[in-house]
């Protein structure tokens, strides 16, 4: 891609999507990608585009992040989020937070701070001091019987060639209180490095962390374009009998995505093809993002 080009991809979680929910997933992802694309098209930063796209997905009850998060075994919601600036390798993340309306905003506020990850009350106090909205997302607590899991995320590359990755989740329904998955862990649920590329993942958090899945895909982008590198989720997830989905953008701005879950809602666009494409299965985007 030329200098000055931009690209963006968002996801709404690796999971099964029923036909009646398909449209909400397509539209929710498309709206978030459009928001990020607007920022990138007018010269905004990848960090800003990724943060705002993920905040929109957090505000959409269709997705398990922010407003719409699933409940743990105690019937409470606990949210995790992480963001990385590929230009500086700055990382901001929060975990097991209850009283932060948009966890991704708290994670982004951490980017200039020495620690990379704050949990629980410490993270909530930090968000409060930063003037962020510190109420639980309205109606966030959904019944524990809400099935499965998912997560939202975004990878963006701006006109200056900087890459950012962001991930936010309500975790997996019915897990132990205090459980933290891959989403706020760099190299697991997200990672970005301008020199190589960026990723955001969703799926079985423990399996993603055990296999350092995010780091593997980033490593694969050292030699291969994003769409090919993304295929590297399959072998480790097959080994552990786990599910995952990944979105990726490489250093040249090329977009990739892969999943072994039943569905994976994504939306993407670039300065070359600014019309946002949204899809809920890789068969739909194979023609545009060829991976073989
Ligand atoms: N990876 C998230 C977690 O384990 C959940 C998901 O993406 O479905 O918390």
pLDDT digits (tens, 9 = 90+) for 16-29: 999 999 999 999 99
Q: Best substitution site from 17, 78, 93, 183 to test ligand 1's pocket, by max atoms within 8 Å of Cβ?
A: 183
Q: Single out the catalytic residue among 135, 138, 142, 151.
A: 151
pLDDT of residue 192: 98
Q: Is 88 a catalytic residue?
A: no
What is the domain extent for residue 134?
A: 7-285
pLDDT of residue 286: 87
In eight-state DSSP terms, residue 220 is H
Interval 251-267 mean pLDDT = 97
Nearest CA to ligand 1 atom 7: 202
Answer whether residue 167 is part of any domain. yes
Q: Best substitution site from 12, 168, 182, 260 to test ligand 1's pocket, by max atoms within 8 Å of Cβ?
A: 182
The CATH number given to whatever domain includes residue 12 is 3.60.20.30
* 105 and 51 Cβ atoms separated by less than 8 Å: yes
Nearest CA to ligand 1 atom 8: 150
Answer whether residue 290 is part of any domain. no
User: pLDDT tens digit string along 110-138?
Assistant: 999 999 999 999 999 999 999 998 887 65
Interval 248-270 mean pLDDT = 97
Instruction: Give the position, in ligand 1's atom list, of the atom nearest the Cα of 179.
Output: 9
In eight-state DSSP terms, residue 165 is E
Distance between CA atoms of 143 and 205, rounded to whole angstroms? 21
Cα(166) to centroid of ligand 1, in Å? Answer: 13
Check pocket membership of 265 for ligand 1, CB cut-off 6 A: no
Instruction: Give the position, in ligand 1's atom list, of the atom nearest the Cα of 245.
Output: 7
Interval 266-284 mean pLDDT = 95
Q: Best substitution site from 79, 96, 146, 150 to test ligand 1's pocket, by max atoms within 8 Å of Cβ?
A: 150
pLDDT of residue 173: 81
Here the tokens at position 202 are 């969703």
Distance between CA atoms of 60 and 65, rounded to whole angstroms? 8
Answer whether residue 292 is part of any domain. no
Instruction: Give the position, in ligand 1's atom list, of the atom nearest the Cα of 151.
Output: 7
Q: What stretch of H or E contains 216?
A: helix 213-220
pLDDT of residue 243: 96
Interval 177-202 mean pLDDT = 97
User: pLDDT tens digit string along 2-12?
Assistant: 569 999 999 99
Answer whether residue 1 is part of any domain. no
Answer whether residue 181 is part of any domain. yes
90-124 burial, b at 16+ Cβ within 10 Å, e below that, comes to bbbbbbbbbbbbbbbbbbbbbbeeeebbbbbeebb
Above 60 in pLDDT, residue 255?
Answer: yes
Check pocket membership of 174 for ligand 1, CB cut-off 6 A: no
Above 80 in pLDDT, residue 145?
Answer: no
Above 60 in pLDDT, residue 31?
Answer: yes
Answer whether residue 291 is part of any domain. no
Domain count within the chain: 1
Task: Give all strands of the β-sheet with 152-157 in edge-to-edge order.
Answer: 117-119, 90-97, 79-85, 163-169, 152-157, 7-15, 263-270, 277-279
DSSP character string of 31-94 = HHHHHHHHHHHTT--HHHHHHHHHHHHHH-TTSSSSTTPBP-TTS---EEEEEEETTTTEEEEE
Answer whether residue 248 is part of any domain. yes
pLDDT of residue 272: 93
pLDDT of residue 215: 98
Interval 51-61 mean pLDDT = 95
Answer whether residue 194 is part of any domain. yes
Check pocket membership of 203 for ligand 1, CB cut-off 6 A: yes
Distance between CA atoms of 279 and 201, rounded to whole angstroms? 16
Distance between CA atoms of 167 and 117, rounded to whole angstroms? 13
Check pocket membership of 171 for ligand 1, CB cut-off 6 A: yes
Cα(169) to centroid of ligand 1, in Å? Answer: 6
pLDDT of residue 136: 73
Interval 274-282 mean pLDDT = 94
């Amino acid at each position: 891609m030329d200098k000055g080009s931009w690209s963006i991809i968002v996801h709404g979680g690796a999971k099964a999507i029923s036909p009646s929910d398909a449209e909400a997933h397509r539209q929710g992802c498309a709206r978030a990608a459009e928001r990020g694309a607007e920022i990138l098209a007018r010269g905004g930063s990848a960090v800003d585009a990724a943060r705002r796209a993920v905040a929109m997905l957090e505000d959409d009850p269709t997705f398990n992040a922010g407003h719409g998060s699933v409940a743990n075994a105690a019937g409470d919601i606990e949210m995790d989020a992480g963001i990385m600036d590929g230009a500086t390798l700055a990382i901001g993340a929060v975990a097991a937070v209850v009283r932060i309306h948009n966890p991704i905003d708290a994670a982004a506020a951490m980017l200039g701070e020495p620690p990379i990850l704050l949990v629980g009350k410490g993270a909530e106090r930090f968000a409060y001091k930063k003037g962020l909205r510190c109420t639980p997302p309205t109606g966030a607590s959904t019944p524990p019987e809400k099935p499965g899991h998912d997560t939202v995320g975004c990878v963006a590359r701006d006109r200056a060639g900087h890459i950012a990755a962001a991930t936010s989740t309500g975790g997996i329904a019915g897990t132990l209180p205090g459980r933290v998955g891959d989403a706020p862990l760099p190299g697991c649920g997200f990672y970005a490095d301008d020199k190589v590329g960026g990723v955001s993942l969703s799926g079985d958090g423990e399996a993603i962390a055990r296999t350092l899945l995010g780091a593997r895909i980033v490593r694969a982008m050292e030699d291969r374009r994003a769409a090919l590198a993304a295929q590297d989720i399959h072998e480790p997830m097959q080994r552990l009998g786990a599910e995952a989905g990944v979105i990726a953008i490489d250093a040249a701005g090329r977009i990739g995505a892969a999943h072994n879950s039943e569905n994976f809602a994504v939306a993407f666009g670039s300065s070359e093809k600014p019309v946002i494409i949204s899809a809920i299965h890789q068969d739909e985007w194979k023609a545009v993002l060829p991976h073989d």
